[in-house]
Amino acid sequence: MRIDVLTIFPDYLAPLELSLVGKARTAGLVDLRVHDLRDWTDDRHRTVDDTPFGGGAGMVMRPDVWGRALDEVLTPEALLLLPTPSGDVFTQATAHSWAEEAHLVVACGRYEGIDARVAEHYRGAGVRVAEYSIGDYVLNGGEVAALVVVEAVARLLPGVVGNPASLVEESHGEAGLLEYPVYTKPPAWRELAVPEVLLSGHHARIERWRRDQALRRTARRRPDMIDALGPAALDARDREV
């Protein structure tokens, strides 16, 4: 997969050289390129923003600069991603869908956002455009939201996560439940013991305990996820929990 990120702060994306995503890049599993939007400015001050028509606080990113940049970076198969707090919420389902793409282009806005004609123009030109938010809070720009998407998508690409089994039993995975709590050595730490059942070697009991924990945790923390479960998701035993 190819991913291009356009930003006025390329250094913000430096963490993508580390850890799993960094290794995936080195291994050639993802072709990730970070660009400085100011490379497409045409004035001495490398200006990317201006005051909003209609008035109001803050600055808006100019469509001409973005247009030159995107004309150069977009390919016919690209999905153009625009991080914005007013977008559709990015979820694990979105990550799975975007992991199927050949080319993602993430255009990071700053200030009060990008002139709305940019999204309109590229949609009109037949480019698929997705405006997305990573949650109900406000960030200063799209860079962190780009990091979130690159990491969430890259780890779903074939070969990026060493053991693909670790992709299946996950919070926000197929079960529609949060993950159960996990423990490792030592079996006793401070005043706390690892739950007895996990040391029992009884796989059926362990599986049942984990499912109970996942159900309880989800019901407490994310009742909306319980409501969203399909009618077949819970059996009679689950309903006792």
Binding-site residues, please?
Answer: 109, 134-139
Q: Min. distance of Cβ 91 from ligand 6GU in angstroms?
A: 13
**CA–CA distance, 175 with 111 (Å, rounded to integer):** 39
Query: Which residue lies nearer to ligand 6GU by CB, 138 or 168?
Result: 138
Binding of ligand 6GU by 30 (CB under 6 A): no
Query: Which residue lies nearer to ligand 6GU by CB, 31 or 88?
Result: 88
Query: Which residue lies nearer to ligand 6GU by CB, 73 or 145?
Result: 145
Which residue in the set 137, 201, 224, 240 belongs to the binding site for ligand 6GU (CB under 6 A)?
137
Which of these, 106, 128, 139, 135, lies nearest to 3 by C-alpha position?
106
Q: Segment 54-113, which members bind ligand 6GU (CB under 6 A)?
A: 83-85
Tokens of 138: 């406000």
**CA–CA distance, 54 with 216 (Å, rounded to integer):** 51
Q: Amino acid identity of 14?
A: A
Binding of ligand 6GU by 114 (CB under 6 A): no
Which residue in the set 12, 141, 175, 214 belongs to the binding site for ligand 6GU (CB under 6 A)?
141
Which residue in the set 65, 145, 147, 177 belongs to the binding site for ligand 6GU (CB under 6 A)?
145
**CA–CA distance, 6 with 118 (Å, rounded to integer):** 14
User: Beta-carbon neighbour count of residue 205 at 10 Å?
Assistant: 13
Whether 22 and 155 have beta carbons less than 8 Å apart is answered as: no
Largest Cα–Cα distance of the chain, in whole Å? 70
Q: Determine the 3-state secondary structure of 223 from DSSP.
A: helix
Which residue in the set 5, 13, 134, 178 belongs to the binding site for ligand 6GU (CB under 6 A)?
134
Site size toward ligand 6GU, by CB under 6 A: 12
**CA–CA distance, 17 with 191 (Å, rounded to integer):** 39
Binding of ligand 6GU by 13 (CB under 6 A): no
Residues that bind ligand 6GU (CB under 6 A): 83-85, 133-135, 137-139, 141-142, 145
